[in-house]
Amino acid sequence: MYKVLSGLHVALLTGFEDNGDYCSKRQENILEYVMRQNITGLFVGGSSAEGALMTFDELKEQQIQCRDYAKGTSKKLIAHVGQPSLREAIALAESAAELDYDGLSALPPHSFPFNQDEIFAYYRDLAAATDLPVIVYEAPFRTGRPTPIDEMTKVLDLPNVTGLKFTSSDLFGLSCLQKARPEIAYFYGFDELLSSAYALGVDGGIGTTYNVLGNLYMAIHEAAKANDLAKMRELQMISQDYVRAIIQTGVMPGTKLTLEVLGVDCGPSRAPFSLRGDNPRKVIEDAVNAPAFKDWIAK
């Protein structure tokens, strides 16, 4: 069964100046590195982009820059528009539609402890704002609670909702949703467990560490299609070694430091993010210099 936007999408980082301003040059540097990798598309403006720390105008500028950079390529473009304000989310969705993005995605509203009826209404109104396919979220770490299966299926039944980004370790819950709504495209959100989700038949992934190791994750995707469990396990261990490193340094700051070590001038994360630990550069350099890691650096 063909499912819209299936595959692996890089949860794109944002380029900032040293003072925290949006930097189109550094964004271009990130795009240049990412686009050399074997990935399906770009997921623009999400958590990995530090989108919650960006202004509405910055997010629109980023949408435009990514559209212009990807024009003429085969890469798909998904705009994350999940701002806590429904009005801003709809305006960002309309911007993405005008820019000919291929799809939308949105975290549930997350500034306050909204109940499930409010989250349903948010997704209903957002999905109705354009004709683009929409990927919704299951992200208990953002909402503070897992979504009951019957409540999530109501969201998945909304017009234009064609996908779910499942960022939870509850693989049984994922399997129950796949059985209940097999026509939905399922994207897994924990990079370090992607092969486990592929064993359950997900349709792709959306991840932060794809910025650095997109080729590795596409190899996991291909090993899954070939039913090569041993290869999936081998490749996933490389991913897990890297994820352990960036957990020590802070995920977004550590991923950006990795690109810097690889020669990509992408700038820092925006405050209040900061690098963690006594010597984060050594942690990242040790990870980058591992022989298994070097095999997957974009050429």
Q: Which residues are catalytic?
A: 137, 165
Q: Which of 123, 105, 93 is nearest to 43 (CA)?
A: 105
In the DSSP assignment, the letter for residue 104 is E
The 10 Å CB-count burial string (b at 16+, else e) for 234-266 is: ebbebbeebbebbebbbbbbbbbbbbeeeebeb
Q: Give the SS3 label for residue 16.
A: strand
What does the alpha-carbon distance between residue 294 and residue 216 come to, in Å, rounded to a whole number?
Answer: 11
Q: Which amino acid is at 287?
A: A
Q: Do the beta carbons of residue 252 and residue 229 sit within 8 Å?
A: no
Task: Please state, in angstroms and as integers, the Cα–Cα distance from residue 11 to each residue in 114, 129, 148, following that order.
Answer: 25, 23, 26
Helical H segments across the chain, by residue range: 24-34, 56-70, 86-98, 116-128, 140-143, 149-156, 171-180, 194-199, 210-225, 229-249, 251-261, 280-288, 291-294
How much is the CA Rg of the chain, to the nearest whole Å? 18
What does the alpha-carbon distance between residue 127 and residue 58 come to, in Å, rounded to a whole number?
Answer: 22
Q: How do strand 76-80 and strand 7-11 relate by DSSP bridges?
A: unpaired
